[in-house]
Amino acid sequence: MCATRAVDKTFVTSIVVACVISLLLISTIFVYDKRFLPLLLLVIVIIGYLNGTKAMNELHRVELGQYSGLARVISDPQRSGAATQIILDVSGDRFIVYAYGPPGWRLNRANAGEQIFVTGQRSKLAPDQATRWISRHVKGKFEIESVEENRLVASPLFRGAQRVRKLIDRGATSFPYDERSLFTGLVIGDDSQQSKQMVTAFRKSGLAHLVAVSGQNVAFVLAGLSPLLRRLSKVLRLVVTCGILMWFVVITNIEPSVVRAAVMAGVATLSISLGRPTRTLRLLAITVIATIFFDPLLAWSVGYYMSVGATAGLCVLSGPLSRTIPGPRWLALLIGTTISAQIGVAPAVVFVFGFPAAIGIVANVLAVPVASLVMLVGLPLALLAGALNETVLSWFGTLVMWPVFVGVRWVWWVAAICERLSFTGTVNFGLWIAVLALILSLLHRGARVEG
């Protein structure tokens, strides 16, 4: 009876929060009268504070000690040194697991959404570790003692997502190991198989964002399906678009950056369906309000901050910069968007990782166009190649994936070369000062020309 009441209370609370968010979204889209904005802002602040306080209190409410029973797999397993890293939901509380030996081998075969029988000890996380996992709602650490071999199947949605992920991975079996792991990172954000050398190269060259699936991937998925979506009525287009976005979010393991991009795309589709197209910067603001309302702990996610920052930088700076950079239009647009995104993510990057390498601007100009093509055509071609992989037409799958392989290898080479050319310390700081001075001079010249 108590469990039923708790479930009912949670369900009712979720419905109320969803209704409030929906009303705020619609009112934010339609309200242009500035007299209502202070009241709307006050309501947002009050509800946001109460919701955030509730989320933080819930994060510290956890049952510790010995446990033996079913646990639901939240994230796909990843290698962390000699351990298998995974997040489990135990009786409604999430725990991070680092498993070694036979338990680690068995967990390594588990998939998100499945249920497994585990025995172990639940304990608190160290303060520095707790901060890292807040955005994933992790409340503690689970020290695995044993894992049963049998697993309960996941829901149809998660099973379908796993099939798609495996099909994409199978479509790239003709690639060497490094290129294969990079391809899955570019297309669906799965970087779990990447070597330390590759991870280091992408971070030092300023290209790490390419293997963190983001709004660009969402945009390419919708672009690929746009011929079909345009044929539908407004209402049906909205429903189908939201379904596609939800499907892609699940495939990419519900990454914060993808959640932001999917919600923003959904809000944009909603505003168009209602006959009130909204500016991109306003869409971003509405998206931030909606996502933080629904999950306040997203505010602790570095990936979420970087996604919002990059989008804001593109909205505010890409246009003015692209118009003032001399040279061919396509090159000016490419450089302008690259610098704008770099400036947008700079606060989060500097605060968390330190000063990025200035060579990242060059690396992005060289790698982003090719990586974008890989993201655009790689997903459908990999699905085709994966479907043909175990048939007599497997050679055709290898053939259609060859141009994708060339693009993936180009991105990998750019990251490796730019890592070697990157500077640190005073030299890197001086290069950033020069870049900033150049940007300011270009913006000043553009403003003077327009004036």
Is the confidence at residue 94, as pLDDT, over 60? yes
- The mean of the pLDDT values for the chain is 82
Higher pLDDT, 194 or 105: 105
**Which are the contacts of 259, defined by CB distance < 8 A and separation ≥ 6?**
249, 291, 295, 298, 304
Q: Helix (H, G, I), strand (E, B), or coil: what is residue 72? A: strand
Contact between 320 and 298 (Cβ < 8 Å)? no
67: left (phi over 0), alpha (psi -120 to 50) or beta: beta
Tell the residue number behind the tokens 């619609």, with chain if given. 26
Is the confidence at residue 441, as pLDDT, over 60? yes
Tell me if the domain spanning 65-154 has CATH number 2.40.50.140.
yes
Q: How far apart are CA 386 and CA 390, in angstroms?
A: 8
The pLDDT value recorded for residue 28 is 54
Position 8 confidence tier, pLDDT thresholds 50, 70, 90: very low
Backbone angles phi and psi of 62, in degrees to 5: -145, 145
Q: Considering only 17-31, 125-139, 252-266, which range has the smallest mean pLDDT?
A: 17-31
Q: What's the longest Cα–Cα distance across the chain? A: 72
Q: What percent of the chain has pLDDT over 70?
A: 89
Position 408 confidence tier, pLDDT thresholds 50, 70, 90: very high
Is the confidence at residue 47, as pLDDT, over 80? no
Q: How far apart are CA 359 and CA 207, in angstroms?
A: 10
Mean predicted confidence (pLDDT) in 103-123: 90
**Which are the contacts of 176, defined by CB distance < 8 A and separation ≥ 6?**
none
The pLDDT value recorded for residue 3 is 37
| CA 435 to chain CA mean position, Å | 28
β-pairing, 83-90 vs 93-99, is antiparallel
**Which are the contacts of 419, defined by CB distance < 8 A and separation ≥ 6?**
200, 201, 204, 205
Is the confidence at residue 429, as pLDDT, over 90? no
Is the confidence at residue 87, as pLDDT, over 90? yes
pTM: 0.79
Q: How far apart are CA 40 and CA 296, in angstroms?
A: 19
The pLDDT value recorded for residue 2 is 41
The pLDDT value recorded for residue 36 is 64
Is the confidence at residue 437, as pLDDT, over 70? yes
Q: How far apart are CA 207 and CA 213, in angstroms?
A: 12
CA dihedral in degrees (153, 157, 160, 162; nearest 10)? -70
| CA 375 to chain CA mean position, Å | 14
The pLDDT value recorded for residue 121 is 93
Q: How far apart are CA 164 and CA 382, in angstroms?
A: 10
Highest mean pLDDT among 111-115, 192-196, 213-217, 357-361: 111-115
Position 1 confidence tier, pLDDT thresholds 50, 70, 90: very low
The pLDDT value recorded for residue 323 is 80
Is the confidence at residue 228, as pLDDT, over 70? yes
Is the confidence at residue 11, as pLDDT, over 50? no
> What amino acid occupies position 291?
T
Token pair belonging to 181: 């792991």
Is the confidence at residue 43, as pLDDT, over 80? no
Token pair belonging to 174: 């003709």
Burial class for 381, CB neighbours closer than 10 Å (0-12, 13-18, 19+): buried
The pLDDT value recorded for residue 18 is 54
Is the confidence at residue 23, as pLDDT, over 60? no
Q: How far apart are CA 406 and CA 77, in angstroms?
A: 29
Q: What is the pLDDT of residues 234-253, one digit of tens each?
A: 888 888 888 888 888 888 88
The pLDDT value recorded for residue 315 is 86
Q: What percent of the chain has pLDDT over 90?
A: 16
| CA 138 to chain CA mean position, Å | 18
The pLDDT value recorded for residue 33 is 53
The pLDDT value recorded for residue 143 is 93
DSSP assignment of 403-439, as one string?
HHHHHHHHHHHHHHHHHHH---HHHHHHHHHHHHHHH
Position 401 confidence tier, pLDDT thresholds 50, 70, 90: very high
Contact between 136 and 78 (Cβ < 8 Å)? no
Tell the residue number behind the tokens 């792991």, with chain if given. 181
233: left (phi over 0), alpha (psi -120 to 50) or beta: beta
Mean predicted confidence (pLDDT) in 444-449: 61
